[in-house]
Structure 1
Amino acid sequence: MSEDAQGQSGPIHPPDTAERSVVVCGTAGGVGTSVVSALLAEYRAGTSLGGASWWVDAAGNDGDIHQRLRATGDQTLLRTALGTGLLPAPEAAVSDIVLHTWRFGAVPVVDAGARPLTVLPELESDELGSVTPVLIVGPRPDLLNRSREIFTEWDQAGVLAKTIIVICCQVPTLNHQALTQMLVDAVSGKVAGVVGLDYEPVLGEGTALDKDSQQRFSSRTWESIGRLSAGTRRA
């Protein structure tokens, strides 16, 4: 039992929306977990959820996403130009973070960083049964090989079947199509979906991610984020 926004004890339920709450994990550091999760929250703010779309920083790193998104307002919950709420959540359990956002009617995208095995027990819990897990993978042979243990553990826990895998290409000259197809073939039928995110020059600059910068994204980038968003909607 938890305490709701009015201070009364009782179960806390997710908001009644088509979009599910999301927990995003990277299979390794530097694969684009924070950027992909923030863009998903921005996409949902701009298309369906408005201010109910929150991005929660639970990666445990000194991130700069709030600065790159040019967020303003109250430091406890900054807002982007599209209305996404940015919530810092240092040293908090993911399940507590999700329940906290639900108290305010928010539908969060939680950046859990490169902690897929640490977060796994929480993703198995009944509290997060309605949450969609997302795994971010880099399309390099070494990163894919390092991901095998994660896929195995998530599969044995019964979490992989509801997980969306995002293959995030961060190098412009890397031909990742063969590796992407290899991964799709390997996990076909075991995951909820696989989304490929091609190299985006604007993201490659490593600078702003605000609304003006987003307008310069290629159509393929937004198509990929749109497919990811569609995969997080209730059936």
Structure 2
Amino acid sequence: MYEEEQEQTVPISPPPTAEQTVVVCGTAGGVGTSVISALLAEYRAATTLGGASWWIDAAGNDGDLHQRLRATGDPVLLRSTLGAGLWPLPEEATVTDAILNAWRFGAVPVVDAGARPLTILDDLCEPEMSVVTPILVVGPRPDLLNRAREIFTEWERTGVLRRAIVVICNQIPGLDHQGLTGLLTDVVSGQVAGVVGMDYEPVLGEGTALDREAQERFAPHTWEVLQALVTHTTAARPQSPAAQQ
């Protein structure tokens, strides 16, 4: 499944779909990066991309999402119950390598980059990665927002922040994150592509299965968040010359 980088006569480009390749990073561990990235890949598989929607595990952890998604099939590229491809990043590969490899197979990946937003900046600054949408996941606690200051500063310095989506993921029942969401929206207004607030989802709070049956029990606001992320990561389809005339 993974092809070693070789000299290319034609540059590798993303498949001709409106859905953009996405890299999801957490500003700290345990803020929901893996779940959000996997659910976005799942949603795209179920609604628009089918099997061309991949979730690439580049977090570098011993995760269990492939089990929670009830993935089966070829161990090289497992498939979830909704048809999304689940592919672990080889140890020797970079995030850029993984994305280019997915494009070779006609896939549109969502990459879980874990809590490494500074480490992968070089990848996000590569010229061929300019068409990739970065997502930053933040926990709705003042200490986590304060710890994220350096990340926002570095992403802004490199020009990556202006094309990024920020997700404030609330994982604590009863916590009102609206004030922090509003504050962050005010602070980064005009500097990011969008800010999305995600309320606590009881199904995710169970920490168990995330397959089709579990997703059918999601609260309406969770579906609204996924739809918002799809909107933020979908580009307008270019018109053909004939349509422009």
TM over 0.5: yes
Distance 2:40 2:232 in 1: 11
Distance 1:226 1:65 in 2: 21
- Deviation of the 1:3 alpha carbon: 4.3
Counterpart in the other structure of 2:47? 47
Deviations 1:203-234 (A, max 9, x none): 00000000000000011101101101110011
Counterpart in the other structure of 2:75? 75
Moved >6 Å (runs of 4+)? none
In the alignment, structure 2 segments of 5+ residues that lack a partner are: 237-245
- Deviation of the 1:127 alpha carbon: 1.8
Q: How does 1:72-221 map to 2 (within 5 A)?
A: 72-91=72-91, 92-221=93-222
Counterpart in the other structure of 1:25? 25
Distance 1:90 1:164 in 2: 26
Q: Secondary structure at the match of 1:67?
A: helix
Q: Is the 8 A contact 1:60 1:90 kept in 2?
A: no
Counterpart in the other structure of 2:240? none
Distance 1:215 1:9 in 2: 46
Deviations 1:63-102 (A, max 9, x none): 0000000000011000011110000114220000000000
Q: Is the 8 A contact 1:31 1:137 kept in 2?
A: yes
Q: Secondary structure at the match of 1:118?
A: coil
In the alignment, structure 1 segments of 5+ residues that lack a partner are: none
Distance 1:151 1:25 in 2: 12
Deviations 1:95-131 (A, max 9, x none): 0000000000000000000000000111011021110
| Paired residue type of 1:127 | E
Number of equivalences: 231
Larger CA deviation: 162-171 vs 121-130: 121-130
Distance 2:165 2:90 in 1: 25
TM-score if structure 1 supplies the norm length?
Answer: 0.96
Deviations 1:133-173 (A, max 9, x none): 00000000000000111001000100000000011000002
Q: Secondary structure at the match of 2:120?
A: helix
Q: Secondary structure at the match of 1:196?
A: strand
Counterpart in the other structure of 2:241? none
Q: Is the 8 A contact 1:23 1:109 kept in 2?
A: yes
Distance 2:234 2:69 in 1: 24
Aligned CA RMSD, in angstroms, stands at: 1.1
